[in-house]
Amino acid sequence: MSKTLALRTLVVVAALGGGCGRHQARVQTTPLGRVSYDLAEAVSADGRHLTSVTVAGGALRTAVDGRPAPGYAGAPVGFPQFSPDGRRMGYVAMKGKRLVMVVDGKAGADEYDAIVENLPTFSAEGKRVAYAAERNGRWVAVVDEKPGPEWDKVGMVVFSPDGKRVAYPVRRGMKWRVVVDAVAGAEYDTIGRASVVFSPDGKHVGYTALTDGRWQVVADGKAGPTYDSAEAPDFSRDGARIAYRVKAGGKQFMVVDGTPGAAYDEVGRPVFSADGKRLAYWAEKGKRGVAVADGVEGTAFDRIKDWSLVFSADGKRLAYVASVGEQERPVVDGVVGPTYDFIVRGGVVFSPDGQRVGYGVGEGSKCRVVIDGRRGPRYDSVSAPLFSQDGRRVSYVATLGDKRFVVADGEPGPKYDSLWAESLAFGPDGAVGYLATVGADLYRVKQFPSR
């Protein structure tokens, strides 16, 4: 380590002071750059990089870990879009009276009159980019800067999770169809907005379609039964199963592998276990909410939080957050937990081995994290907890006043001005890593136990 790096590391720890417990965690910091995020920011999937965006000289400027990237001088249109790994950024900009797509600071060769949603679509690994654009009344899908065939209209372009396949809705005349891997499917009156989806393994594609006022789900080119309405399908991780919500006769129900389930006043989005063997969703009947797991209703509450259903990694356990009046309760394996003012977004979290359970809660004006039923210290706010891969360790982000810090295994680390919970990650050396700032200075931090 250089003298400069060592000095800056000491300055960070000393200037920010300790945490709020008996033991003070040790940290090792690596200075990255100076950040400015007037418009947007994103953390990479591995939690090690921060992409930020600001406006300078009429153009969007992006930086990765505080290091500026080349910019394009055209005036931006709308907000930027990051690749899933947070390392790339694209946006639409003006070039004279037309639009261009700018990716990584470089404008595309072609100019257009319109671009769908004024946004690009990146593949999951960030290597490919696509968008739908119009010029002189004709629309094309632009994939990797190569325009495809012309249509009267083109919708949002989507990639399969592995980035190898491409699909998008198109219209010619009054009829719509979906193009998958350059092959156009059957004609329909319309295709559901943002309904084109690939299975997680990339082998299957589904969407909703309207014909003569009736909706249906089309999976791999095969149209299912028609309903009053239908939502975009969800696939199991291995692509072997499919589920989607429909409405008929004033009631909603879940269709699982082609078989309709019980009728409810409202149903939520389906959630598959990792192995695809189990399925859960929330439903409402008579102004009461229930979680339905494998077709069996759980205890009725005022409502089930629609974002909260989660299976353990092995699929054996199920948890969710239930509302009781103005308060909320965790439910794990059907057992109803204590009542809190609220449960932190992120809900109940299982350790990777499924043996441990944690969640953040609000109590009055303070928050705390509960792990395996044991309540931690009170802070102004907390994030949902993160377990290590072996399930033995746990960390989360806490706030006191205007400072943020990481609490790992009960030990608070140094306080920072900004700290991104999505950057938290346990490393093989036992440290928990994250990105944080002191003023505008960005650091990659590794926090070790004090003992």
- Measure the CA–CA gap between 303 and 325, rounded to whole angstroms: 9
pLDDT of 21: 47
pLDDT of 53: 80
- Measure the CA–CA gap between 232 and 219, rounded to whole angstroms: 10
| pLDDT in single tens digits along all 451 residues of the chain | 333 333 233 333 433 444 444 456 789 999 998 887 777 788 887 888 888 887 777 777 777 888 877 777 777 777 788 888 888 888 899 888 999 999 988 999 999 999 988 889 999 999 999 999 999 999 999 999 999 999 999 999 999 999 999 999 999 999 999 999 999 999 999 999 999 999 999 999 999 999 999 999 999 999 999 999 999 999 999 999 999 999 999 999 999 999 999 999 999 999 999 999 999 999 999 999 999 999 999 999 999 999 999 999 999 999 999 999 999 999 999 999 999 999 999 999 999 999 999 999 999 999 999 999 999 999 999 999 999 999 999 999 999 999 999 999 999 999 999 999 999 999 988 899 999 999 999 999 999 987 6
Q: What is the pTM of this model?
A: 0.88
Residues 185/223, Cβ–Cβ less than 8 Å: no
Let me know how long the chain is.
451
The ranges assigned to domains in the chain are 1-34+340-451
